């Protein structure tokens, strides 16, 4: 298995269905802060649904349409990053992230997202990387800004959560702009 050293005892590794129990324990710790931003957080509420979430990403990876990676800090799963979508035909991918509160403020998401974007541009030859977040998710938009994405625009009332519609900001970076 491969692992990317993120520094200070943190590593980025593939997150797979066989890790559903560890993923569920992590989601239980993170759910309250992750649920408003990541639709599958509330759906991963027992072992079967946690495994199903990870299986969806395993199927996406097998089809080259998405991927999911975990971030481990001192051996404990504390968050992750993902290619929500990955489209080789159009050369566009969407990246996303989540992190439990105990691991915030260490730059883990920023480092992991930079790694994903580098890989997408330099190894896979994609042209555009997008980041979608609600305007009130300032932690998320701050990460997008830190890694060098620009705000392209806002989709009005495009995100439904608990029967309320929210706007979605679209941040992006193009391969020729990427400084890594």
> Percent of the chain at pLDDT above 90?
88
pTM: 0.94
Helix (H, G, I), strand (E, B) or coil at 107: coil
Cβ contact 108:72 at 8 Å: no
Residue 70's CATH number: 3.40.630.30
Domain count along the chain? 1
Closest C-alpha to 54, from 22, 96, 98, 85:
22
Range of the domain at 31: 4-177
Tokens for 3, please give them. 């692992």
pLDDT per position as a tens digit, 36-60: 888 778 889 999 999 999 999 999 9
Tokens for 163, please give them. 């029967």
Cβ contact 67:61 at 8 Å: yes
Interval 25-42 mean pLDDT: 87
Confidence of residue 161 (pLDDT cuts 50, 70, 90): confident
């Amino acid at each position: 298995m491969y692992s990317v050293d993120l520094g200070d005892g943190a590593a980025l590794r593939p997150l797979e269905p066989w890790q559903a129990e560890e993923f569920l324990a992590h989601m239980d710790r993170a759910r309250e802060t992750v649920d408003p931003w990541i639709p599958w957080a509330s759906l991963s509420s027992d072992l079967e649904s946690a495994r199903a979430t990870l299986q969806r990403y395993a199927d996406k990876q097998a089809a080259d349409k998405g991927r999911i990676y975990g971030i481990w800090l001192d051996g404990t799963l504390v968050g992750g990053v993902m290619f929500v979508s990955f489209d080789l035909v159009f050369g566009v991918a969407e990246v996303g992230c989540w992190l439990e509160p105990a691991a915030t403020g260490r730059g883990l998401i920023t480092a992991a997202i930079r790694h994903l974007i580098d890989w997408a541009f330099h190894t896979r030859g994609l042209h555009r990387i997008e980041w979608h977040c609600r305007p009130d998710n300032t932690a998320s938009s701050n990460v997008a800004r830190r890694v060098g994405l620009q705000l392209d625009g806002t989709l009005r009332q495009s995100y439904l959560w608990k029967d309320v519609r929210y706007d979605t900001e679209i941040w992006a970076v193009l391969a020729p702009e990427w400084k890594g």
